Amino acid sequence: MQVFFQIIMVLTVTIYPIFIIIDSIRRHRKGERIGKRALIELGIGILVFFIGAVVVGSADSDNNNTVTVAHKKKNTSKNLPGQKINSSKAAKHEFYWTSKDDKKVRYFVDDDKKITAIKVVLSPDINNTWWCQRYMEKVLHDDNLKYGIDKQGKNDAVLSNRVKYNIYSPKYKKWYWVNFEAADGKNMVASFSIYPGKNKDAE
């Protein structure tokens, strides 16, 4: 539509005045009065020109004001500490989120929706720290977690339920730290929480 009106404008500006001049000369040779008629034809040409200009200008304005709807970037977060919460993998509650795959896993987020802590609530199904290590691998999506500043492997590290530990993820090259909530019984755990980064007070 816009191109159509542009063509009309070009024709109006270039061809129409020539047509008026030729027609006026022809009528003058026949002895007809051409003054009023020429003015009317010229006025019609000017009117068509301005209507075309208004229509084309309006179309350009609409094109410029068209809002481009950007596709929302897919959230690829695995819901690790420090990442933004991925709502496709978690359900929101009043004070925290829970994993859609495991209701024991709770995510705590800040105002920017970044995960500040992951708490795994085992109680009443308490278990030992060795079992918790396997659970941490699942939560952190890394089967080769290293424990302590010296990055001990899971087969070398014997964790106490009363000590904080730094954890290194070789897969993501990230440091975390874990705090256990001890349950009754030797090395039994009621829940544990994982935080982003290193803790200077942790082993």
For residues 38-63, give the mean pLDDT.
61
Question: Which helix (DSSP H) or strand (DSSP E) does residue 179 occupy?
Answer: strand 174-182
The pLDDT assigned to 152 comes to 87
3-state SS, residue 102: coil
**DSSP summary character for residue 72:** P
Closest by CA position to 55, among listed 125, 94, 2, 123: 2
End-to-end CA gap in the chain: 73
| Average pLDDT across the chain, whole number | 83
Whether the upstream peptide bond of residue 124 has omega within 30° of 0, thus cis, is yes
Name the burial class of residue 181, with classes exposed (0-12), middle (13-18) and buried (19+) by CB atoms within 10 angstroms of its CB.
Answer: middle
The pLDDT assigned to 73 comes to 77
For residues 38-57, give the mean pLDDT.
62
The neighbouring-strand residues paired with 105 are 120
Q: Where are the domains of the chain?
A: 2-64, 90-196
Distance of alpha carbon 76 from alpha carbon 85, whole angstroms: 10
The pLDDT assigned to 74 comes to 83
pLDDT per position as a tens digit, 4-39: 656 666 666 567 667 666 776 776 676 666 666 666
The pLDDT assigned to 22 comes to 73
The pLDDT assigned to 171 comes to 97
Name the more confident of 21 and 160. 160
Angle at 152 between CA 151 and CA 155, to 5 degrees: 150
For residues 187-198, give the mean pLDDT.
96
Note whether 126 and 189 are within 8 A (CB): yes
Tokens, residue 131: 């079992």
